[in-house]
């Protein structure tokens, strides 16, 4: 006979799995797409959503990061049952993002933070991106949509197809993101830019902000 602890654990794993499936389907992602973003196998994710696997804390933190939610939210403990703090309040016309609420993330040698309200289904994706001057690699990326960027500090090299442009603070660029492109810093300091993409989030994450999968 199962102990009460085992019964409770099974119940909680089932709830967790249901919430994970809800978060994924709300964003319109397949298991394959989530696997690429979270760097976790499809089979593992499938077992999590089925309540058949007990996840590690590292996996939970990673999924919370990908879904842009808190750990309690993974277990269905959403803000519906609590009052949001002032910085989290959403107005009927949009959302305000406070400077202290933005988390700096890393991907493909870049440091970045979202300047949007965490709506993964939105068409517009503004980011603050720091391009380290010692960033390694020579990649060209292509994805659907278009991009606009503005250099805040440092010097940026924008590569479009086989042409390079040196951008200084105050310079901006607007281009079709389907053109092969890349960004890199030059000079003695990191480059900091505002990047606004009109593209599916997954396409953007698979370009600049995530490592290529082998």
- 40 and 19 co-located in one domain: yes
Q: What percent of the chain has pLDDT over 70?
A: 73
Asked if the structure places residue 140 within a domain, the reply is yes
Q: Which of 36-50, 54-68, 77-91, 128-142 has the lowest mean pLDDT?
A: 77-91
Q: Write the DSSP assignment of 148-176 as a string of letters.
A: EEEEEESEEEEEETTEEEEE-TT-EEEEE
pLDDT at 101 over 70: no
Q: Please state the three-class secondary structure of 48-69 as a single string.
A: HHCCCCCCCHHHHHHHHHHHCC
CATH number at residue 62: 1.10.260.40
154-204 pLDDT, tens digit per residue, is 999 999 998 999 999 999 999 988 888 999 999 999 999 999 887 554 445
**Model confidence band, residue 85 (pLDDT cutoffs 50, 70, 90):** very low
- Which pLDDT score, from 0 to 100, does residue 76 have? 65
- 10 and 40 co-located in one domain: yes
CATH number at residue 159: 2.60.120.10
**End-of-domain residue from the set 16, 48, 81:** 81
pLDDT at 147 over 50: yes
**End-of-domain residue from the set 56, 81, 106:** 81
108-144 pLDDT, tens digit per residue, is 778 888 787 655 445 677 889 999 998 876 667 777 7
Asked if the structure places residue 214 within a domain, the reply is no
- Which pLDDT score, from 0 to 100, does residue 174 have? 94
- 54 and 122 co-located in one domain: no
pLDDT at 78 over 50: no
State the residue range of the domain holding 23.
4-81
Q: What is the mean pLDDT of residues 71-78?
A: 65
21-35 pLDDT, tens digit per residue, is 888 888 888 888 888
**End-of-domain residue from the set 81, 99, 124:** 81
- How many domains does the chain fold into? 2
- 73 and 137 co-located in one domain: no
What is the spatial distance between Cα 116 and Cα 84, in angstroms, rounded to a whole number?
A: 18
Could you tell me if 48 and 31 are in contact, meaning their C-beta atoms sit under 8 angstroms apart? no
């Amino acid at each position: 006979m199962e102990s009460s602890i085992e019964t409770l654990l099974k119940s909680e794993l089932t709830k967790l799995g249901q919430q994970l499936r809800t978060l994924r389907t709300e964003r319109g992602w397949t298991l394959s797409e989530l696997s690429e973003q979270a760097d976790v196998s499809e089979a593992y994710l499938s077992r999590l959503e089925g309540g058949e696997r007990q996840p590690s804390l590292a996996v939970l933190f990673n999924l919370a990061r990908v879904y842009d939610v808190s750990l309690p939210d993974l277990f269905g403990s959403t803000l519906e049952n609590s009052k949001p703090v002032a910085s989290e309040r959403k107005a009927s016309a949009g959302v305000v993002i406070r400077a202290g609420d933005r988390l700096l993330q890393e991907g493909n040698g870049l440091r970045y933070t979202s300047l949007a309200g965490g709506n993964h289904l939105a068409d517009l994706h503004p980011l603050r991106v720091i391009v380290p001057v010692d960033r390694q690699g020579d990649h060209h990326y292509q994805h659907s949509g278009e991009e606009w960027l503005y250099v805040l500090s440092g010097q940026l090299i924008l590569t479009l197809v086989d042409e390079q442009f040196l951008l200084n603070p105050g310079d901006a660029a607007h281009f079709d993101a389907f053109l092969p492109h890349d960004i890199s810093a030059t000079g003695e300091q990191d480059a900091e830019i505002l990047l606004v993409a009109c593209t599916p989030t997954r396409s953007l994450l698979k370009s600049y902000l995530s490592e290529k999968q082998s």
